Amino acid sequence: MRYFCFMIIVVILSITVPVSAGYRELFEKEFLSKPWSSEILEESACVECHTSEAMPVELRSIPQEWQLSWHYQNDVSCHDCHGGDSTDATMSMSHKRGFTGTPKYTEVPEQCGKCHIGILEHYIESGHGKALKETGDGPNCVTCHGAHNIQQVSIDIINAQRCSKCHSYDRAKMMKQALFLTDEKIEKIDEDLKQLRSKGVYPEKEEKRLFDTQAKFRTLFHSIDVARVKSETDFYTEQLDSIEADVQKTYDQLAFRRKFSTFLMLIFAGSWIVASYISKSYKD
């Protein structure tokens, strides 16, 4: 009879454990294959010297701002933007080591565009990019995102204060309206995915799909072409609907697993009672 109970436990464990291990495995695989995640920030001579007493006071806030930024969290450091050698304090800022210094106002997009390639392409073709090139009047990346304190974006970057400096806010508002529904959908799916994570499920595949779709969609803004955003909205709605449906499936599976585990627990408890009753009466 002991053997019988033991077998029940083994069967239950073998049904429930692989389910959660599967998710963990998937998480580790996905996480390690993400670009940037494997590269751990080494000690940087730039950061060390720029936080030291040697620094003019007015420049000391820069590393502090950077440490609060989304770039910091993603291992994008001083030398990734300014060039130079972060491992050798004496030669760090030598042009021989690729140091490019502070970019001029008109050079900023090229600097950021080294990594944000798709965005640079849209930007260069846009009214903003052309104005920057031709008259120096267009906004550059820093005008809207900042340089050292860059955060994850939201549609609220488009606001009256920022967007009415050079022209009427009406144009900006039309763009915001065109982006609004798709943006809201992205936020909602993002919330749902966070919820799943908090329940111990790691929906990497959906997270990756959302990340890719969101990155493509948010690139589109930089064309500042309202008609274009409107005409591509159907495409993005379709993509997001499909991700949403898969997220819903995961929710349903989760509910099913919960019910199934309860069911197994009941069987287990029932078997235990029966088994101990039989073994007791057998001994008697």
181-200: contacts with ligand HEC (CB under 6 A): 183
Determine if 218 is a binding residue for ligand HEC (CB under 6 A). Answer: yes
Contact 155, 176 (CB under 8 A): yes
Closest approach of Cβ 194 to ligand HEC, in Å? 15
Query: Which member of 150, 193, 196, 240 binds ligand HEC (CB under 6 A)?
Result: 150
What is the footprint of ligand HEC within residues 231-270 (CB under 6 A)? none
Contact pick of 4, 6, 31, 36 for ligand HEC (by CB under 6 A) = 36
Task: Rule CB under 6 A: say whether 79 interacts with ligand HEC.
Answer: yes
- Residue number, 150 or 243, with CB nearest to ligand HEC: 150
Angle of helix 117-125 relative to helix 127-135, nearest 10 degrees, comes to 70
Identity of the amino acid at 49: C
By the rule CB under 6 A, 144 interacts with ligand HEC: yes
- Least distance from ligand HEC to the Cβ atom of residue 1, Å: 59
User: Which tokens belong to 281?
Assistant: 């009466």
Q: Which of 5, 12, 153, 254 binds ligand HEC (CB under 6 A)?
A: 153
Complex with ligand HEC: residue 210 or 247, whichever CB lies closer: 210
3-state secondary structure of 98: coil
Interface residues for ligand HEC in 103-142 (CB under 6 A)? 103, 108-109, 111-116, 119-120, 123, 127-128, 131, 137-139, 141-142
Contact between 207 and ligand HEC per CB under 6 A: no
From residue 219, alpha-carbon distances to 116, 197, 261 in Å are 9, 27, 44
- HSE-up of 207 (CA within 13 Å, CB side)? 15
Copy the structure tokens of residue 106: 């008109």
**Piece of the chain touching ligand HEC by CB under 6 A; list 15-23, 78-86, 261-269, 274-282:** 78-86
Nearer Cβ to ligand HEC (140/247)? 140
Q: Between the CA of residue 187 and those of 69, 171, 182, 192, 211, what are the distances in Å?
A: 20, 24, 9, 9, 11
Identify the CA nearest to 221 among candidates 137, 157, 149, 142.
157
Shortest distance, position 31 Cβ to ligand HEC, whole Å: 14
Q: Which of 178, 224, 240, 247 binds ligand HEC (CB under 6 A)?
A: 224
Please give the backbone phi and psi of residue 139, each rounded to the nearest 5 degrees, phi first. -75, 145
Q: How far is the CB of 195 from ligand HEC (least distance, A)?
A: 20
Q: What is residue 139's three-state secondary structure?
A: coil
Q: Count of residues binding ligand HEC (CB under 6 A)?
A: 80
Between 110 and 252, name the residue whose CB sits nearer to ligand HEC. Answer: 110
Residues 208-214: contacts with CB within 8 Å, 24+ apart? Answer: 208/30, 209/239, 209/243, 209/246, 210/186, 210/240, 210/243, 213/186, 213/239, 213/240, 213/243, 214/186
Could you tell me the smallest distance in angstroms from the CB atom of residue 164 to ligand HEC?
Answer: 8
Per-residue contact flags (x/-) with ligand HEC for residues 83 to 102, judged by CB under 6 A:
-xxx--x--xx-------xx
Nearest approach in angstroms of CB 182 to ligand HEC is 7
Query: Which tokens sit at 201?
Result: 């499920």
